[in-house]
Amino acid sequence: MSFLDSLFAKKEKSVIGVDIGSSSLKVVQLRKEHGKAVLETYGELALGPYGGSEVGQATNLSAEQITTTLKDLLREAKVTTASAGVSIPFARSLLTLVTLPYRKDPSEQKTVIELEARKYIPLPITEVQLDWFIVPRSEQAAFAAGDTKSGSAGPQTVDVLLVAVHNDELALLQSVVTGAGLSTSFYEIEIFSTIRAVVDDPVRPVMVLDVGAASTKTYVIERGVVALSHAISTGSQDITRAISVSGNLSIARAEVLKKEQGISGADTLGGPELVFSRIFAEARRVLVQYETAHAKSITSIVLTGGGGVTKELGAYAKNIFSIDVRVADPFSKTEAPAFMRPILEEIGPEFAVAVGLALRKLDEI
């Protein structure tokens, strides 16, 4: 590249986050302008119709079917870049928090972690991609846990978050990305994308309730790291089915009513409040379990995922839990025209993963 080429080169670059969920695909395109993330376009397509089922229902499509859906979505959303970050479904990954011996030398610590990981990964290490993060501890927490000897200069153990993804899942995603004409520098488990998009408190424990189509993921974030994760087998498709059965409606119509009437329509629709009460009861059990084990309080709950767009869910959740509850607004981390804000706030929970992916991708520019 010559001096003039670099002088007149376009400095603003666009990127997309691609969220491959169980019931739909979502994309968010951002560009960096004056150090800020500017929203350029976004879009969503349901996977159900591509697999012979209804909108809002979880699917298990082939790489070819997902690729076809993604290409349609990129075209309909008028995406103009191939530079992408792509999500890995939580259900296709393994996260586990373990306590291991501490080694001062980083290379020794790495060896200890990779050897010990074999005990916790229920698959041959050769069949997965393994990653790990050392969870930071406050000095006070380390002493409270009995982690330092009298007169010792450092801890005896270290908390490590082990992350494993099966090679087959990565191969499927790579096939989809290549088939859709995209290029990606990373694949990220959806939990981490969501954290980046919706968690603002960098230190205090926060619980995220991610209501997906097939299941609900609940996890506690402390100091920016996943301190606890738990899957609940009930999801937003169960709410849709409850409305469908009680009202003798099609799944497609029930999905629309869920978003339009939500919790407020529980008496007439039937189902939403009952299903959410089951989800929240399990989430509250996880919350109490964490608070008891760690002797500290969770300060707030963030509702996200496709079920998070259920009308009036935030108000209902505030009556169930005794702490602050808010509905995720990931688009608040982007610049967008003021007239778009109401709709972006409304659909935000569905796009948390895609926004989080795009924000990470922007950091590479």
pLDDT in tens, 20-47: 998 899 999 999 998 899 999 999 999 9
Nearest Cα neighbor of 18 from 361, 364, 365 is 361
Nearest Cα neighbor of 317 from 262, 237, 247 is 262
Confidence of residue 304 (pLDDT cuts 50, 70, 90): very high
Which one-letter amino acid corresponds to residue 140? Q
- End-to-end CA distance of the chain: give it in Å, rounded: 18
- Select the highest-mean-pLDDT range: 45-54, 156-165, 208-217, 348-357: 348-357
126-174 residue pLDDT tens? 899 998 888 776 543 443 344 444 344 567 888 888 999 999 999 999 9
Q: Are 319 and 293 in contact (CB under 8 A)?
A: no
Q: Is 69 helix (H, G, I), strand (E, B) or coil?
A: helix
Q: Is 154 helix (H, G, I), strand (E, B) or coil?
A: coil
- Listing from the earlier edge strand, what are the strands of the sheet with 128-134? 93-101, 157-166, 128-134
pLDDT at site 143: 33
pLDDT at site 154: 61
Which one-letter amino acid corresponds to residue 244? S
Element holding 159 (H helix, E strand): strand 157-166
- Rounded to whole angstroms, how far apart are CA atoms 13 and 86? 18
pLDDT at site 205: 93
pLDDT at site 264: 61
Average pLDDT over residues 58-76: 93
DSSP 323: S
Question: Among 202-216, 254-268, 319-333, whose mean pLDDT is lowest?
Answer: 254-268
Averaged confidence pLDDT in the chain: 86
Average pLDDT over residues 199-203: 83
Q: Are 248 and 181 in contact (CB under 8 A)?
A: no
- Rounded to whole angstroms, how far apart are CA atoms 21 and 190? 9
Question: Please, which residues bridge with residue 25 across strands?
Answer: 20, 45
pLDDT at site 1: 45
pLDDT at site 302: 95
Nearest Cα neighbor of 83 from 351, 320, 362 is 362
- Select the highest-mean-pLDDT range: 9-13, 115-119, 176-180: 176-180
Q: Report the largest interatomic distance among the alpha carbons of the chain, rounded to a whole angstrom.
A: 71
Question: Among 3-12, 85-94, 346-355, whose mean pLDDT is lowest?
Answer: 3-12
Instruction: Provide the H-helix boundaries in 261-301.
Output: 266-269, 272-294
Q: Are 251 and 271 in contact (CB under 8 A)?
A: no
For residue 119 the two structure tokens come to 């005990």
- Rounded to whole angstroms, how far apart are CA atoms 272 and 270? 6
- pTM for this prediction: 0.87
Q: Residue 58: what are its φ and ψ, rounded to 5°?
A: -65, 145
- Rounded to whole angstroms, how far apart are CA atoms 72 and 22? 17
Domains and CATH numbers, the chain: 3-92+167-362 (3.30.420.40), 93-166 (3.30.1490.300)
pLDDT at site 217: 92
97-137 residue pLDDT tens? 888 999 989 899 999 998 888 898 888 888 999 988 887 76
Q: What is the dihedral of CA 347, 350, 353, 357, to 10 degrees?
A: -40
Element holding 247 (H helix, E strand): helix 236-247
pLDDT at site 273: 78
240-278 residue pLDDT tens? 888 888 788 888 888 887 777 776 654 555 567 788 889
